[in-house]
Amino acid sequence: MVAEHVNHVKILDCEAMQAIVAGLELRSVDLQSPRNNKEHHTQEMGLKRLIVRRGQPFGLQLHFNRPFHFGTDYLTFVAETGPVSMELLGTRATFSLTQARKGNVWSAFDFTVDTNSLLVSLFTPANAVIGPYTLKTEISQGQGHSVVHPLGTFILLFNPWNAEDDVYLPSEILLQEYIMMDYGFVYKGHERFITAWPWNYGQFEEDIIDICFEILNKSLYFLENPSRDYSQRNDPVYVCRVVSAMINSNDDSGVLQGNWGEDYSQGVSPLEWNGSVAILRQWSARGRQPVKYGQCWVFAAVMCTVMRCLGVPTRVVSSFHSAHNMDGNLTIDTYYDQNAEILSTRKRDKIWNFHVWNECWMIRKDLPPGYNGWQVLDPTPQQTSSGLFCCGPASVKAIREGEVHLPYDTPFAYAEVNADEVIWLFRDGQAQEILVHNTSSIGKEISTKMVGSDQRQNITSSYKYPEGSPEERSVFMKASRKMLGPRRASSPFLDLLGSRGSEAQPVQLQLHLARTPEWGQDLMLKLHARRMPDRVHPQGPIRLVVHFSAQALLHQGDTQEPLWRQIVHLNLDFGKEIQWPLLLPYDNYRNKLTDEKLIRVSGIAKVEDTGRSMLVLKDISLEPPHLSIEVSKRAEVGKALRVHITLTNPLMVALSNCTMVLEGSGLIDGQISKNIGTLAPGRTIQIQVDLYPIKTGPRQLQVLISSNEIKEIKGYKDIFVAASRAS
């Protein structure tokens, strides 16, 4: 019996030794995408493939033909990205399985063996190159034969949750807004008539992440030197600068083609987009041909989608009465003739009714201390930077402090919100008289969506000190000296500005609306004229001749031919006031407004005795009709949700060729389009649509109704989608 027992033990020992000696073979891999994606805040992009953020471990499970033995079995992992991966460029990493992580380097560690399975954690450094990676492992035993097995692919993103990442944002509330929120608002219009436009960012739609990397791979930087371009994709400053250039198509196969005219027949009017997803998908599906058309808010909203998708906290910012300073002299020169007509053809500088750009959050290691945080990125093609149409990143703090020498494009961004406005009377072929020198009219009501709310937040104070304060003028002078240098001392315009700009006017003129302006109705205004004391006319009446002109105002500051003129003669005695009614008939502007529905009424009053001139202005915004959107019940994933949309036409004219487009990530896959025909004056249309929500959580439905007469009847509805209840 004893001999038999000994022989049995020997047989077992031999079998065990054979199992150990047998080569370790990989049978299957589980990338554990659902669990990893949830831990890395990427589950909204889907759970089928692995999408992780740098600087944070993720787990894998490897299944072998036998148990793994640390010390005799050796695993080496290889992660690669880019067309030609190299360790020297940071696009290839080789790292062996160890018991503990070695710091901020590629690591495989914290493993456990469970029968024939190995659970292992992989760590990517917080400064790793972002992008799609392939992962493989090399299995060896001692100095013997090694075998390489592919493990699969994963996508690596920036990680604003990680304190070691350059885009770290230490607030979960802000991260939910500036990374996870897939809808929002773009603020448009005029500083006194600000409109919130709902926008579907849709950064978590499943194909958007791939399109974002397509965009990087179509940039001129990549096409010129792919390996070098990939090696710099660890730096958010570099990546956002590339994206800024690629959102417009001025130099490359960028996403959007700009159009600031009135003919959109070859594409889609910028006013008719509801969100970024349709634009990005069209660009990708049509062979990376630029999508027609975009203007500033479309460029900025699409860039917001791309940057949030890549993991950089991003928001959309609007500035009203925003400067486009072509000559870099910090004055925006506008010209009027004696008939109160804006002479657009004479303008190189422009004042946009509003302009929209992005802010991205990041550390600026390339700048002195103190300039981290929000950085201005402007993808609208306005002027070149290092040879390409892009702008930024420019530190918002640097803009506020006038540190215009700091990169990138800080002088241009500073001028957008701080330039002085100078309005000239143009006569006999030259600018002869300053009508207005305004130091505080540029960069008004700088706005973004409030965190966790549908309200607008005014962030003007982050860009500049209070207008007229000693700090604001001091910063302006500092920026002027840096931007103009010796030129400032020899400017005849500035000499004239200093000698003529501050004389008191004998009359105070103001234009007011007599009633709320409505599209399709006559516009009623009143001119208020009040006599003021002055040296030239200490007493006695003065005579004024006031020439009025009304022009359609385009969003980028240009105007069309006058659509209305009037001349008024006034006699004003000392201490007297006059209110003079003005009527701008509907027939005058009916077919002459741009899609913006903005009119500028200008008046130039000439004092007969002295020949001095004064300017009075009034901008009028004609609001489109309003939509009503209601839902009938609780929203659940996969269950029909009936939406009721109501539109009343309050105008005196019919709205013809009406079309409706619905969009909303998590509610609709793509878009729902519907032709709804003609809506007669005073009539109401009610539309019912059934949606089948796709994702849980807070969602936003965007609705756009467009007609030949009005392009932008927009509305939205916030909808919370619950998980499906078991039936």
Kindly report, residue by residue over 641-665, the tens digit of the pLDDT.
999 999 999 888 899 999 999 999 9
Residue 173 CB-half CA count within 13 A: 4
pLDDT of residue 14: 45
Of 429 and 399, more confident:
399
Residue partners of 255: CB distance under 8 A and separation at least 6: 215, 246, 247, 248, 249, 279, 280, 283, 290, 291, 302
In this model, does residue 502 exceed pLDDT 70? no
Q: Is 2 part of any domain?
A: no
pLDDT of residue 55: 98
In this model, does residue 575 exceed pLDDT 90? no
pLDDT of residue 348: 72
344 falls in which pLDDT band (50, 70, 90)?
A: confident
Mark whether 296 is an active-site residue: yes
Q: What is the pLDDT of residues 273-332, one digit of tens each?
A: 999 999 999 999 999 999 999 999 999 999 999 999 999 999 999 999 999 887 778 889
In this structure, the answer to whether residues 527 and 582 fall within a common structural domain is: yes
Q: Is 164 part of any domain?
A: no
In this model, does residue 491 exceed pLDDT 70? no
In this structure, the answer to whether residues 291 and 182 fall within a common structural domain is: yes
pLDDT, average across residues 134-157: 93
pLDDT, average across residues 379-395: 88
Q: What is the pLDDT of residues 48-93, one digit of tens each?
A: 999 999 999 999 999 999 999 999 999 999 999 999 999 999 999 9
pTM: 0.93
Q: Is 356 part of any domain?
A: yes
In this model, does residue 488 exceed pLDDT 80? no
pLDDT, average across residues 325-347: 85
Indicate which residue of 378, 390, 391, 555 is catalytic.
378
Smallest CA-to-CA distance from 24 within 60, 77, 62 is with: 62
Bridge pairing between strands 193-200 and 183-190: antiparallel
Q: Which amino acid is at 193?
A: F
Calculate what percentage of the chain has a pLDDT beyond 90: 77
- The residue out of 621, 653, 677 marking a domain boundary is 621
In this structure, the answer to whether residues 580 and 605 fall within a common structural domain is: yes
In this structure, the answer to whether residues 184 and 274 fall within a common structural domain is: yes
Give CA–CA dist 400/398, Å, rounded: 5
pLDDT of residue 3: 46
Q: What is the pLDDT of residues 663-683, one digit of tens each?
A: 999 999 999 999 999 999 999
| Per-chain mean pLDDT for the chain | 91
- The residue out of 476, 498, 520 marking a domain boundary is 498
Give CA–CA dist 239/307, Å, rounded: 9
Give CA–CA dist 394/55, Å, rounded: 26
- The residue out of 566, 597, 621 marking a domain boundary is 621
pLDDT, average across residues 401-417: 96
In this model, does residue 486 exceed pLDDT 70? no
pLDDT, average across residues 541-570: 92
In this model, does residue 469 exceed pLDDT 70? yes
pLDDT of residue 497: 46
In this structure, the answer to whether residues 633 and 606 fall within a common structural domain is: no
Q: What is the pLDDT of residues 164-213, one digit of tens each?
A: 999 999 999 999 999 999 999 999 999 988 999 999 999 999 999 999 99
Across 567-605, b (16+ Cβ under 10 Å) vs e yields ebebebeeeeebeeebebeeebbeebbbbbbbbbbbbbb
pLDDT of residue 503: 61
pLDDT of residue 346: 64
pLDDT, average across residues 10-35: 73
In this structure, the answer to whether residues 61 and 108 fall within a common structural domain is: yes
Give CA–CA dist 705/711, Å, rounded: 7
pLDDT of residue 624: 83
Q: What is the pLDDT of residues 607-627, one digit of tens each?
A: 988 889 999 999 999 888 889
pLDDT of residue 557: 81
How many domains does the chain divide into?
4
Q: Is 12 part of any domain?
A: no
CATH number of domain containing 469: 3.90.260.10
pLDDT, average across residues 377-384: 90
Q: Is 5 part of any domain?
A: no
pLDDT of residue 544: 94
| DSSP annotation of 88 | G
Residue 529's CB: how many other CB atoms inside 10 A?
21
In this structure, the answer to whether residues 85 and 45 fall within a common structural domain is: yes
Q: Is 3 part of any domain?
A: no
387 falls in which pLDDT band (50, 70, 90)?
A: confident
Q: Is 267 part of any domain?
A: yes
Share of the chain residues as helix, strand and coil, in percent rounded to the nearest 5: 20, 40, 40
Give CA–CA dist 232/239, Å, rounded: 8
In this structure, the answer to whether residues 613 and 632 fall within a common structural domain is: no
Of 633 and 11, more confident:
633
In this structure, the answer to whether residues 579 and 676 fall within a common structural domain is: no
In this structure, the answer to whether residues 601 and 652 fall within a common structural domain is: no
By residue range, what is the domain housing residue 702? 627-721
Residue pair 191/444 in contact by the 8 Å Cβ criterion: yes
pLDDT of residue 10: 41
Mark whether 454 is an active-site residue: no
381-390, 515-524, 544-553, 581-590: range with lowest mean pLDDT:
381-390
pLDDT of residue 727: 52
Bridge pairing between strands 420-427 and 331-336: parallel
Indicate which residue of 212, 240, 296, 658 is catalytic.
296
Residues tagged in the binding site annotation? 418, 420, 467, 472
In this model, does residue 498 exceed pLDDT 80? no
Residues tagged in the binding site annotation for Ca(2+)? 418, 420, 467, 472
Q: Is 353 part of any domain?
A: yes
Of 690 and 536, more confident:
690
In this structure, the answer to whether residues 666 and 644 fall within a common structural domain is: yes
Indicate which residue of 190, 355, 537, 547 is catalytic.
355
CATH number of domain containing 527: 2.60.40.10
CA quadruple 271, 274, 279, 282: dihedral sign: negative
In this model, does residue 688 exceed pLDDT 80? yes
In this model, does residue 21 exceed pLDDT 80? no
In this structure, the answer to whether residues 488 and 535 fall within a common structural domain is: no
pLDDT of residue 210: 98
Residue pair 621/597 in contact by the 8 Å Cβ criterion: yes
419 falls in which pLDDT band (50, 70, 90)?
A: very high
